[in-house]
Amino acid sequence: MDDYINSSVFAFYKVGPGPSSSHTIGPMKAATLFVERAGKVKFAVPPAALEIRLCGSLAATGVGHGTHRAVAGGLIGMQPETCDTQRLSLLLEDASVYQADFGAFKVDFDRRSILFDKHASCPKFQNTMIFRLLDDNAEPVFAMTIYSIGGGYLAVEGDEEPEEQAPVMVPYRYRDMNGLLRLASKYGISISRLMMENEQAVSGLSEAEINSRLDELIERMDQAVLRGIATEGVLPGPIRLHRKAALFYKSSMNQKQPQDRFLAQLNAWAMAVAEENAAGNLVVTAPTLGSAGILPAILHMLRETRGLDNAKLRDGLLTAAAIGMIARRNASISGAEVGCQGEVGVASAMAAAMLGGVNNASSAIIECAAEIALEHHLGLTCDPVCGYVQIPCIERNAVGTITAYNAYILASVGNPLYHKVSFDEVVAAMLETGRRMCPELKETSRGGLAVCSLCE
Ligand code: SF4
């Protein structure tokens, strides 16, 4: 099977608990997969215990990213999209004993069973999880190594294909933006139409069913905006960071200049979702949870100030997905791999493309908008303070949203034919920049802003 892009839009936009898709959604799904696969093994004597080692960035960010709780949630049967986030936030808080149900046998575990292994080397991928079942002598009888590769996606050591790579023939085969643009031009269709037809092949759903699922995602995103601008208080963790979106939104109404009011509201909507994410509530990966505020802020703006209906917003969401999938295939959307350029940078590029998609812009303008947005995030490090997805992440979502808006203006008001750098080139530059970035600046909370005086 050739390696063209054939994953589902619904594997890309995932609902799950904050604050980080690679540290919460991925590990929760990994724990579920471990239970599922181990449950199929025939053991002469049922295993007595389990041990899970969280390595690399998963260990470095520690409790701040909530990975231990996400794993515990997966072991006891929680699913990212439906989990009770209140209950999830309390897991492993005390010495309670939990039970993982493998079908033919059950295994007790508690907070000592899930270890942050800061010394393990992770030659293949930064977010590595080692799941083991142990016998009475604490010897392993079954083990799985699973990588959380960004945006809630997984790769399993020994499996040939990444989990979402369905062996499906899609009508439009492309690997990068150049290929996508060629197909759109050859068949005279928009990027959103091309994505819709590919999605029908991948998911087996009808167009009406896909539309209905996209509408659900739009509602989820919008609800997160509305919850965020209605909630005040302090976010979890040692920083004691006050939520700002609600106050910011109220204050935006007092701005005398309409352009100031517009920008203030756009900022508030982005921070609203980022704060919901930081609080561990359910949001949608776009492309990750850390960067989940940008697309919803633009969607909400298009609804609220432009009165756009869901038909248009769906086009925007599909166009944005094309950008995110290309960035993911040819570089990475993981802060642990390429820094925040792969999260907020890609989200900003997706949102800039979305603005093109809803405005019926040409494919050339859409590419140009996405390129500009990503280009000006190149080099952006991932250095969450104290390991919590709060500083700089929440305001960074706001800044990424405004950049997306401006990138679309730069692309659409000017002449895209004068544009010199392609989206594919900037994606390649992002990968190269990420590779050269030192590990301290890639979601380990060991450098940059992460070691500021707040954590002392
Ligand atoms: S700095 Fe960026 S990539 Fe890192 S956790 Fe925050 S939002 Fe995610």
Map out the domains of the chain with their CATH numbers: 9-156 (3.30.1330.90), 177-455 (no CATH)
Q: Which residues are near ligand 1 (CB < 6 Å)? A: 290-291, 335, 340, 343-344, 382, 384, 389, 392-393, 396, 443
**By C-alpha distance, which of 45, 54, 44 is closest to 132?**
54
**pLDDT score of 350:** 98
> What amino acid occupies position 424?
D
Distance 207 CA to ligand 1 centre (A): 34
CA 450 to chain centre: 20
Q: Which atom of ligand 1 is nearest to the CA of 343?
A: 3
Model confidence pLDDT, tens digit, residues 297-352: 999 999 999 999 999 999 999 999 999 999 999 999 999 999 999 999 999 999 99
CA 66 to chain centre: 15
> What amino acid occupies position 252?
S
Using DSSP, state whether 384 is helix, strand or coil.
coil
Using DSSP, state whether 91 is helix, strand or coil.
coil
pTM: 0.95
Using DSSP, state whether 432 is helix, strand or coil.
helix
Q: How many CA atoms lie within 13 A of 187 on its CB side?
A: 16
Average pLDDT of the residues in 230-239: 96
- For ligand 1, atom 6: residue with the closest CA: 393
Beta bridge partners, 50, equal 133
For the ranges 13-27, 115-129, 281-295, 297-311, which has the lowest average pLDDT? 115-129
With contact defined as beta carbons under 8 Å apart, do 168 and 175 qualify?
A: no
Would residue 208 be called left, alpha or beta, if left means φ above 0 and alpha means ψ between -120 and 50 degrees? alpha
Distance 17 CA to ligand 1 centre (A): 15
Cα separation, 327 vs 349, whole angstroms: 10
**By C-alpha distance, which of 327, 448, 412 is closest to 378?**
327
Non-local (6+) Cβ contacts of 102 within 8 A are 35, 38, 39
Distance 86 CA to ligand 1 centre (A): 23
Model confidence pLDDT, tens digit, residues 363-382: 999 999 999 999 999 999 99
Model confidence pLDDT, tens digit, residues 240-258: 999 999 999 999 999 999 9
Helix pair 393-413, 258-278: axis angle to 10 deg: 140
**pLDDT score of 187:** 98
- For ligand 1, atom 3: residue with the closest CA: 340
Using DSSP, state whether 440 is helix, strand or coil.
helix
With contact defined as beta carbons under 8 Å apart, do 74 and 30 qualify?
A: yes
DSSP conformation letters of 310-362 = HHHHHHHHHHHHHHHHHHHHHS---HHHH-GGGTHHHHHHHHHHHHHHHTT--
Residue with tokens 């002392």: 456
Q: How many CB atoms lie within 10 A of CB 43?
A: 14
Which of 235, 344, 395, when mutated, tests ligand 1's pocket best, judged by the most ligand atoms within 8 Å of its CB? 344
With residue 106 as reference, give the H or E element that holds it: strand 106-109
Would the pLDDT of 161 be above 90? no
- For ligand 1, atom 4: residue with the closest CA: 382
**pLDDT score of 382:** 96
